Amino acid sequence: MKQAQKSNAFLVTDSIGRLMSQYAVPCVISLLVAALYSIVDQIFIANASYLGSYGNAANTVVFPLTVVALAIAVLIGDGCCALVSICLGAQEQKRAGKSIGNAIILCVAASIILTAFYLIFQDGILSMFGGRVNEETFRYSQEYFFYITLGIPCYMFGQAMNPIIRSDGSPKFAMVSTLAGAGINIILDPVFIFGFQWGMMGAAIATVLGQLLTAVLAIWYLWHMKAVSLHRDCFRLQGNVIFHFLSLGVCSLLSQISLVAAMAAINNMIRQYGALDAIFGQSQYAQIPMAVVGIVMKFFQIVISIAVGLAAGCIPIVGYNIGAGRKDRAKSLFTHLLIAEAVVGGVALFVVECFPTQLISIFGAANESSYYTEFAIKSFRIYLCMMILACVNKGTFIYLQSLGKALASTALSMIREVVFGVGFALLLPTFFGLDGVLYSMPVSDFLTFLIAAFLIRSTYRTLSEP
């Protein structure tokens, strides 16, 4: 027991920079690799001449529905991670174990329910997310969605357990398990898509097999935890424990679910206003705006995965230090985090503004019309022009969550994704047409930052108090 209690004591003694590299870097890699699951599919789909922009558009339609699964997984996983870290900092190993056991049961049950729901209401759900932009896109969406849905339980379990594994003091294992799954996906995608000519089904099966491996590795780790011991009593559902870690994970849930709402609004605005466009109103080009915006959003997801990874990797460090009464170290970590987020956003901004042609060429531009490339260049430059603020905003959301300020974190996330994200996606196209969809992202990030700046200042004041 003493060994378990001391296993994470270095979180209040090691330097902040060293701890960030030890925890945040593996978390960044884990989330980055998780983000690559979908974008790797899209790259191979785009470069398969028999799929092309139709397959890309189908991928864009299905993507928000995988985010719903991720949202539920991070609600459970990130919330449990935050609670476990606080418990370990306060030397409450037994409560930490109960949190993990309850999280496992909840995750398995939720994944089964979501899978059944998706299979029963498949066509209606795809239509809601813009799948009927044309007949070919809808057919590819059905095929891809069916097989992706079969892998939902594995996907959710792996994603939920990843932050829990980090909270147990094993960020490297969490990273390796995700890398292993992504490696399987990258290897099998070209085999199934180009070799076997399995099309959208092949892309989906490759993804699911990778997710299965990650889930299996997570199960193995749960039997070999370091700071927490799991036993039968840990798996008895307790309402107060579940409520506690779910309240800490609500911000993660809403940040993902609200993203889904924004994507649904964007997809439907693209379908509506694309039909009014002189070029994209033609049936042979109708899928291009949806395919292109999906690609831009995937690049955004990669950058935001880095931003989220930096912040989420700090959750165990912040939680442990707050539990141990070391506000000074939590304050120093906040400063390091904000600087790192701004740097990530700055690098991403430089890439999208200077090299949009090179970026879109990765996604099969050579096989498409000039309209595809032209719209993609404009989309990259407009949609992502506030990347620095987007990254700082995301880091602030998650840091507030790690402090246990679930209400402030949730409110800020909701304002960004629902009030601004959905609101401007619906409003701006009425004035600017299809371009209004592109303007919705930078306007939302700028206005959100004005609010985040106030919360950043108040957080510093709180952490400066004795």
Note the pLDDT tens digit of each residue in 274-291.
988 889 998 888 889 988
| Residue 55, in any domain of the structure | yes
Collapse the DSSP code of 186 into the 3-class scheme (helix H, G, I; strand E, B; otherwise coil) and give the result. helix
Q: Please give the mean pLDDT across all residues of the chain.
A: 89
Which secondary-structure segment (H or E) carries 99?
helix 93-120
3-state helix, strand, coil in the chain (%, to 5): 85, 0, 15
| Residue 59, in any domain of the structure | yes
**CA 366 to each of CA 48, 52, 223, 352: distance values in angstroms, whole numbers, following the listed order:** 11, 10, 49, 19
Name residues whose C-beta falls within 8 Å of residue 448's C-beta, 6 or more positions apart in sequence: 389, 393, 412, 415, 416, 420
Structure confidence at residue 3 as a pLDDT band (50, 70, 90): very low
Note the pLDDT tens digit of each residue in 105-155.
999 999 999 999 999 999 999 999 988 888 899 999 999 999 999 999 999
- The CA-based angle 322-246-327, given to 5 degrees, is 10
| Residue 10, in any domain of the structure | no
Burial group, residue 132, by CB count within 10 angstroms (0-12, 13-18, 19+): middle
Q: What is the C-alpha to C-alpha distance for residues 302 and 300, in angstroms, rounded to an integer?
A: 5
**CA 458 to each of CA 119, 149, 190, 328, 342: distance values in angstroms, whole numbers, following the listed order:** 46, 43, 50, 15, 19
Placement of tokens 């690098």 in the chain: 347
Q: What is the pLDDT of residue 2?
A: 41
| Residue 5, in any domain of the structure | no
Number of domains, the chain:
1
Range of the domain at 313: 16-464
Tokens for 163, please give them.
């932050």
Q: What is the pLDDT of residue 7?
A: 58
Q: Which of 53-67, 241-255, 429-443 has the lowest mean pLDDT?
A: 241-255
Is 4 a residue whose pLDDT tops 60? no
Note the pLDDT tens digit of each residue in 333-374.
999 999 999 999 999 999 999 999 998 888 876 678 889 899
| Residue 371, in any domain of the structure | yes
Note the pLDDT tens digit of each residue in 386-440.
999 999 999 998 888 778 777 788 788 788 888 998 999 999 999 999 999 999 9
pTM of the predicted model, to two decimals?
A: 0.78
Average pLDDT over residues 316-326: 82
Average pLDDT over residues 178-204: 94
Q: What is the pLDDT of residue 1?
A: 37
Average pLDDT over residues 266-271: 90
| Residue 281, in any domain of the structure | yes
